[in-house]
Amino acid sequence: MIISSDLEVAVAEPEEGRPSRGLLRGLLAPKVMFGVVIVGFFILLAIFGPILVHTDPGTVTSARLQPPSLKHLLGTTQQGQDVLTQVIYGARISIEVGFGAGILTTLWSVVVGLTGGYLAGTGSELLSMFSNVFLVIPSLPLVVILAAYLPNSGSTGIIIVITVTGWAWGARVLRAQTLSLRRRDFVEAARATGERSIKIMWYDILPNEVAIITATFLGSVVGAILTEASIAFLGLSSVTEWSWGTMLYWAQVSGAELARAWWWFVPPGLCIALVGTGLAFINFGLDDVINPRLRADGTSARRWRRTRALAAALTFAGTRSRLVAARSRSARPALAASASAALSPARTAANPSESSPSAAGTVRQPVLQLRNLRIEYGSGVPVRAVNDVSLTLHRGEVLGIAGESGSGKSTLARAVTRLLRPPGRIVSGDMIYTSRSGRELNIAGLADAELRKFRWEEISIVFQSAMNALNPVLSLGTQIDDVLRTHRPAMRRVQRAQRVCELLQLVGISPDRASAYPHELSGGMRQRAMIAMGLALDPEIIVMDEPTTALDVVIQRQVIETIMGLRDQLGFAVIFITHDLSLLIELSDTIAIMYAGRIVELAAASQLYDRPLHPYSQGLLGSFPTLTGPRRELAGVPGYPPDMRRLPGGCSFQPRCQQAFGPCAGSVPLLLSQPAAATPAGAATAPAPQVACFLYEGNGAAGPGGGLASSRETVTGGSHA
């Protein structure tokens, strides 16, 4: 990759480490400032107060129980000691204990909560049990017991006691939050891009928990100051060390309340309350700063400038075209057809594969072959969500998969990318990937390390809901950059930034939106950003599971045009899943129709459009109105999708099929190629359609050439094939 010196300069300039204006503005918000002033005052008092005040707080004088005066601003104790001096000295221990215990408690909570929540298995259960045990132990008696064993250990002992008794609640909350986050699509996406567990925890989950961690920390500080005061008040700590707690202890044992010496116990109590108030204000204000959704200025000025500079440099130097051309897989067959040409109405009418890299006289090279794939969920009576699926995806081909809800489309997509979650499991079958060099590997058998490298390099996935699949607290640029950092550790930062801009431009997003957060983008932009992420490493296959379902038709068209334009430009193959058969016919080369976990028809898109063979495909196509021609009643598919746990015997579609006849209830029809005569005239170059239905000659009982029953699975009612 060539990087111009102009670009380096353009990037270097805004990198000078000035704090971002957005963050600074957030920190300067009145609530935060108010809290910072209060807490800052006490921290300064704790650090410098004892240095500036030369009097010993324990010095006894004859001025006993004096109310506040010019000589003693906060009055004196029964021993004639100066209350102000004791408050200043007391601040040191109280603040030290508060922040010391706050930091340790929070750190331990984060380690236990995050690790226990993210990692499954015995380790996670043990950590959960460990924190539950500490939660049910009454903390005050435990504090009293522990403090009794460490009477002369000073503030260090108290910090240890408070940490031991105070971490469990924070760990529990963080564990619950992590358990919920680890199932989210953006964590799944991070896992799919090959990031390691530790990095996912650190970069993807932790930033989403900053608000909770901050609240835990600030709560722990206040709690620690109060606990220290309570321990001291009970006389369980060293009462000769001055803290706000020991002041209250001496005031109580000396009967300050009875003597109406309010100036003795009110100042330390007020100090504790003020520190708590200050921390609460910081907490409220920080929530607005940390959460990009609540931040008024969600984007950092520094990053805006950097990405703008990059965009300008890219345009100036014309690097985009150079970078695209210089990519490692530039040898791919690039098509002249533009995105709009790919979507022209003529294409839907003609054989789509004529304009695809896989046709036009070239040899169709397989890139992915599924062989007798079976996937089940659960045990006992398992749901066989994908049943004996075999198909071939060719290089540069768009393979559309359609079918009603629950037919197994997403399960198939997740299996191909090895992202199936338990209780889903691949029971049998192979998924053979063929690289450009002709090397074959079985995706089903890849070990974890191989899988991390394989996924996203060779096959990537665009999830259904872009809002869920993008990390809400990381900017777009950071998320794409993460993929590059994981897979291209040798790339320099400037190269990665340049690639991010290039990818965003490829999908029609202005590079200066790299610093935007997901919530700042429209639905279509988010989906295109997901596509940009999927393209980051130039994969051979992109799996798209309903990438446009939640979008309106205008945005849907933009996204589809983007995908098709990129496919034509870069030559990757696409597995496109949707309910929308009319959309699939427009964009796919080949379409697979799924019903009850099986492929019931596999044909070129034009073949399926012109002459659907399977009664289910006919029903699906009959569900869409046409814009031209005479008005007709929509037929649709009668009945409901089957219960996957109790499929009917024989052909699963039989209860809904209006053409069902004798053999349909006896055995499962196989997916078999139809003779060339079945293909429409003029489509001789298209692959022969395959259909799983007894109606068709060559597939069994219906035609004179039947007789496949011996090789067919015989089904007893109510069980799986």
Residues contributing to the site for ligand ATP (CB under 6 A): 377-378, 383, 385, 403, 405-411, 423-424, 579, 644
User: Which of 315/658 has CB closer to ligand SF4?
Assistant: 658
Q: What is the DSSP code (8-state) at residue 338?
A: -
- Residue 595 falls in which region: left (phi positive, over 0), alpha (psi -120 to 50) or beta: beta
Taking the least distance from each CB to ligand ATP, the nearer of 114 and 412 is: 412
Which range binds Mg ion by CB under 5 A, 102-110, 255-263, 381-389, 403-411? 403-411
Please, what's the largest Cα pairwise distance for the chain? 122
Does 617 bind ligand SF4 (CB under 6 A)? Our answer is: no
**What is the C-alpha separation between 165 and 529, in angstroms, rounded?**
46
User: CB of 614: closest distance to ligand SF4 in angstroms?
Assistant: 6
Q: 391 phi and psi, to 5 degrees? A: -160, 165
Contact 517, 207 (CB under 8 A): no
What CA–CA distance (Å, rounded) separates 331 from 502?
19
In the complex with ligand SF4, the residue whose CB is nearer, 242 or 694, is 694
Minimum separation from the CB atom of position 652 to ligand SF4 (A): 8
Interface region with ligand SF4, contact rule CB under 6 A, candidates 149-157, 444-452, 635-643, 656-664: 656-664
Check residue 693 for interaction with ligand SF4 (CB under 6 A): yes
Using DSSP's 3-state secondary structure scheme, residue 67 falls into coil
Spatial distance between the Cα atoms of 544 and 645, rounded to a whole number of angstroms = 27
Q: Does 653 bind ligand SF4 (CB under 6 A)?
A: yes
SS (H, E, C) 282-301: HHHHHHHHHCCCCCCCCCCH
Contact 413, 577 (CB under 8 A): yes
> Binding residues for Mg ion, how many (CB under 5 A)?
1
* Residue 158 interacting with ligand SF4 (CB under 6 A): no
DSSP codes of every residue in 229-246: HHHHHTT-S-TTS--HHH
Q: What does the DSSP assignment read for 507-543? A: TT--GGGTT--GGGS-HHHHHHHHHHHHHTT--SEEE
Q: Which is nearer to ligand ATP, 644 or 651 (CB)?
A: 644
Which residues, 6+ apart, have CB-to-CB distance to 538 below 8 Å?
A: 327, 328, 329, 570, 572
Number of residues that bind ligand SF4 (CB under 6 A): 13
CB of 714 to ligand SF4, least distance (A): 14
> What's the count of helices (H) and strands (E) in the chain, helices before strands?
27, 12
Among Mg ion, ligand SF4, ligand ATP, none, partner that 383 touches (CB below 5 to 8 angstroms by kind): ligand ATP
Q: Which residues contact 128 (CB under 8 A, 6 or more apart)?
A: 116, 175
Binder of residue 461, out of ligand SF4, ligand ATP, Mg ion, none (CB less than 5 to 8 A by kind):
none
Q: Which of 248, 219, 271, 222 is nearest to 91 (CA)?
A: 271
Bridge-based pairing state of the strands 690-691 and 598-604: antiparallel
Out of 524, 571, 612, 669, point to the residue binding ligand SF4 (CB under 6 A): 669
- What are the DSSP calls for 158-211, one per residue? HHHHHHHHHSHHHHHHHHHHHHHHTTSHHHHHHHHTT--HHHIIIIIIGGGGHH
Q: Is the CB of residue 332 less than 8 Å from the CB of residue 575? A: no
Stretch that binds Mg ion, among 111-119, 238-246, 325-333, 402-410 (CB under 5 A): 402-410
User: What minimum distance in Å lies between the beta carbon of 651 and ligand SF4?
Assistant: 3
Least Å distance, CB 421 to ligand ATP, is 6
Query: Quick one: which of 657, 683, 686, 701 contacts ligand SF4 (CB under 6 A)?
Result: 657
CB of 659: closest distance to ligand SF4 in angstroms? 4
Q: Choose the one of ligand ATP, ligand SF4, Mg ion, none that binds residue 694, judging by a C-beta under 5 to 8 angstroms depending on kind.
A: ligand SF4
- 578 near Mg ion, rule: CB under 5 A: no
One-letter amino acid at 570 equals L
What, of Mg ion, ligand ATP, ligand SF4, none, does residue 290 touch, CB below 5 to 8 Å by kind?
Answer: none
> Which CB sits closer to Mg ion, 219 or 547?
547
β-strands 672-673, 690-691: how paired? antiparallel
- Residue 461: beta bridge partners? 543
125: tokens are 């259960």
Write down the least CB distance from residue 609 to ligand ATP, Å. 21
From the list 32-40, 354-362, 408-416, 687-695, the region that binds Mg ion by CB under 5 A is 408-416
Q: Please check whether residue 185 is in contact with residue 463, taking contact to mean a CB–CB distance below 8 angstroms.
A: yes
Which residue number, 488 or 579, has a Cβ lying nearer to ligand ATP? Answer: 579
Query: Which residue, 377, 429, 389, is CA-closest to 597?
Result: 389
State the nearest-atom distance from the C-beta of 370 to ligand SF4, in Å: 22
Residues 6+ apart with CB under 8 A from 647: 596, 718, 719, 720, 721
Among 660, 686, 701, 715, binds ligand SF4 (CB under 6 A): 660
Name which of 168 and 577 has its Cβ closer to Mg ion: 577
Q: How many CB atoms lie within 10 A of CB 666?
A: 17
What does 244 interact with, of ligand ATP, ligand SF4, Mg ion, none (CB < 5 to 8 A by kind)?
A: none
* Nearer of residues 404 and 568 to Mg ion, judged by Cβ: 404
Among 410, 562, 618, 679, binds Mg ion (CB under 5 A): 410
Partner in contact with 644, chosen from ligand ATP, ligand SF4, Mg ion, none, beta carbon below 5 to 8 Å by kind? ligand ATP
Among ligand ATP, ligand SF4, Mg ion, none, partner that 378 touches (CB below 5 to 8 angstroms by kind): ligand ATP
Q: Which is nearer to ligand SF4, 171 or 594 (CB)?
A: 594
Q: Which does 659 bind (CB under 5 to 8 A by kind): ligand SF4, ligand ATP, Mg ion, none?
A: ligand SF4
Site string for ligand SF4, 565-604 (x = CB under 6 A): ----------------------------------------
Shortest distance, CB of residue 420 to Mg ion, whole angstroms? 13
Q: How far apart are CA 119 and CA 121, in angstroms?
A: 7
Q: How many residues does the chain have?
A: 721
Judged by CB under 6 A, the residue of 118, 406, 694, 712 near ligand SF4 is: 694
Other beta carbons less than 10 A from residue 238's beta carbon: 19
Which of 224, 651, 683, 701 binds ligand SF4 (CB under 6 A)? It is: 651
Nearer to ligand ATP, 299 or 387 (CB): 387
Q: State which of residues 131, 479, 654, 667 lies at the interface with ligand SF4 (CB under 6 A).
A: 654
Q: Would you tell me which residues interact with ligand SF4 (CB under 6 A)?
A: 614-615, 651, 653-654, 657, 659-660, 664, 669, 693-695
Q: Would you tell me which residues interact with Mg ion (CB under 5 A)?
A: 410
